[in-house]
């Protein structure tokens, strides 16, 4: 159900102090701090009526700025949605001074901006109806839940404006408007196009060869609203507290072997000790199914250097060989690091007591608590001191 709109009578009671308001972005023809369309002043606010395409973006500004001064413009004059980049369908939205945009809904709309004290509000009124869904429109899916079989894709069912598919034990999926052959399928896949909305839907657009990765393997329900180009993923399965994560690569025939399985240390930090990898050997950080956990990097990584892996990224390689190293992977932010003994200052000898270092390589006292690196007799290992 659509949200109620502020009447002009109510808007006329709201005070405002800014003398002008501009709509910027696609309606102005191009983006720029010095480019915008001045909105019409009405009782209690400013108004503009027009159509913004479903893949076009816009925002507002209390005044225009200098041509190249985005920093000042975004923080001082630009007004964007508080929730992120979202579609502006009928309803009311809070506006704040920041870098951000609305996405058009494809219909002619009246956009009214009002100000109450320090708060700005956008009210959108849709002036037309959304088009009917074409009868021949289909959505297909392939993924680990059906063996990545493009010749027998899963087909969405249509009812009441939504296409729906239930994918059991799914961890990764591709969705396309073309089926049965990889070339055509990958040319017509869809991918994300903006922030998640309060109801769980998020905008999508056509992406070539895009693959969605679920947060974890479960039975997922996928719903698609093709008219508004929105998609939602939902599941009743709670998120696991621990995942099976491996280093898979040339050193183990790309298998999910227990000898190369990470252990959960604390929080979302996974570690693997006593790792030996030759320079140039390709590998990735992944789960057993190449599903929701499938991370790589597109350039060689130096040991003792932290990087952020990318989902479905390129194969990982190291710039130099490592032996008896400790590998860290944080599932929360995908940070990755290979720690060698040389990265923790020095190595003790058999006649010296063990030394302890924190995860950043700084030496600490032996009575320190938490996850530490212990160096003893030339060997570095990860330990938990309670």
For residue 380, give every residue at least 6 positions away whose Cβ sits within 8 Å of its Cβ, in sequence order, or none. 324, 325, 326, 339, 340, 341, 344, 347, 373, 374
8-126 and 246-385, same CATH topology: yes
**Could you give the CA distance from residue 138 to residue 155 in angstroms, rounded to a whole number?**
7
Domains of the chain: which residue ranges?
8-126, 140-234, 246-385
Provide the mean pLDDT of the chain.
Answer: 87
DSSP of 356-367: EE-TTS-EE-TT
pLDDT, tens only, 105-124: 899 999 999 999 989 999 99
What distances in angstroms separate CA 328 from CA 99, 141, 207, 297, one per listed residue? 34, 34, 32, 15
**140-234 CATH pick, 2.40.50.140, 3.90.1150.10, 2.60.40.3620, 3.20.20.140:** 2.60.40.3620
Checking 14-17 for CB contacts under 8 A at 24+ apart, the result is 14/44, 14/45, 14/114, 14/115, 14/116, 15/115, 15/116, 15/117, 16/44, 16/45, 16/114, 16/115, 16/116, 17/115
Antiparallel, parallel or unpaired: β 102-103 and 86-87: parallel
Give CA–CA dist 287/93, Å, rounded: 40
Q: Is 317 helix (H, G, I), strand (E, B) or coil?
A: coil
b/e map 29-45, b = 16+ CB within 10 Å: eeebbebbbebeeeebb
pTM > 0.85: yes or no: no
What pLDDT shows up at residue 13? 34
The class level of CATH for 246-385 reads: mainly beta
pLDDT at 352: 58
CATH 2.60.40.3620 fits 8-126, yes or no: yes
Question: What tokens were used for 288?
Answer: 């057993």
Nearest to 192 by CA among 202, 183, 201: 202
pLDDT of residue 86: 86
What is each CA distance from 379 to 131, 350, 373, in whole angstroms? 68, 10, 10
What is the predicted pLDDT for the residue at 128? 87
Half-sphere exposure of 181 (CA within 13 A, CB side): 2
Q: What pLDDT score was predicted for residue 244?
A: 95
pLDDT at 347: 42
Please tell me the total number of residues recorded for the chain in this structure.
386
CA distance 17 to 116: 9
pLDDT at position 329 is 97
**pLDDT tens-place string over residues 277-286:** 999 999 999 9
Q: What is the DSSP letter of 344?
A: G
Per-residue confidence of the chain (386 residues) as pLDDT tens digits?
333 333 333 333 333 345 899 999 999 999 999 999 999 999 889 999 999 998 899 999 999 999 989 999 999 999 999 887 788 999 999 999 999 999 998 999 999 999 999 899 999 999 988 888 888 999 999 998 999 999 999 999 999 999 999 999 998 999 999 999 999 999 999 999 877 887 899 989 999 999 998 888 899 999 999 998 999 999 999 989 999 999 999 999 999 999 999 999 988 999 999 999 999 999 999 999 888 899 999 999 999 999 999 988 999 999 999 999 999 999 988 999 999 976 554 444 445 567 666 654 556 665 666 666 666 654 556 565 65
């Amino acid at each position: 159900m659509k949200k109620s709109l502020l009447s002009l009578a109510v808007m006329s009671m709201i005070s405002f102090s800014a003398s002008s308001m501009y709509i910027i972005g696609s309606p102005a023809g191009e983006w720029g701090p010095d480019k915008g369309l001045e909105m019409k002043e009405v009782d209690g606010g400013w108004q503009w009526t027009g159509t913004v395409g479903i893949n076009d973006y816009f925002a507002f500004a209390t005044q225009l700025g200098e041509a190249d001064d985005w920093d000042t413009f975004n923080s001082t004059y630009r007004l964007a949605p508080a929730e992120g980049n979202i579609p502006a369908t009928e309803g009311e939205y809070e506006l704040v001074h920041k870098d951000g945009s609305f996405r058009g809904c494809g219909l002619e709309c009246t956009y009214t901006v009002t100000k109450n004290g320090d708060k700005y509000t956008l009210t959108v009124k849709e002036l037309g109806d959304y088009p009917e869904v074409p009868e021949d429109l289909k959505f297909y899916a392939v993924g680990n839940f059906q063996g990545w079989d493009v010749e027998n894709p899963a087909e969405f069912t249509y009812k009441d404006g939504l296409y729906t598919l239930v994918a059991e034990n799914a961890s990764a999926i591709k969705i396309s408007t073309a089926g049965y052959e990889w070339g055509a399928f990958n040319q017509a896949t869809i991918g994300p196009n903006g922030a998640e909305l309060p109801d769980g839907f998020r905008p999508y657009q056509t992406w070539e060869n895009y693959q969605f990765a679920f947060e974890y393997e479960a039975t997922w329900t996928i719903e698609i609203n093709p008219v508004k180009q929105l998609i939602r993923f939902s599941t009743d399965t709670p998120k696991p507290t621990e995942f099976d994560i491996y280093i898979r690569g040339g050193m183990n025939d790309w298998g999910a072997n227990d000898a190369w399985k990470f252990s959960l240390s604390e929080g979302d930090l996974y570690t693997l000790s006593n790792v030996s990898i030759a320079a140039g050997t390709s590998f990735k950080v992944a789960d057993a199914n190449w599903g929701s956990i499938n991370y790589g990097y597109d350039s060689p990584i130096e040991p003792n250097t932290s990087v952020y892996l990318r989902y479905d990224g390129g194969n990982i390689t190291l710039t130099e060989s490592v032996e008896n190293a400790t590998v860290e992977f944080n599932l929360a932010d995908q940070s990755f690091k290979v720690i060698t003994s040389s990265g923790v200052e020095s190595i003790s000898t058999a006649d010296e007591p063990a030394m302890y270092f924190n995860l950043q390589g700084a030496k600490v006292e032996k009575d320190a608590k938490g996850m530490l690196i212990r160096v003893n007799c030339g060997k570095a290992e990860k330990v938990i001191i309670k």
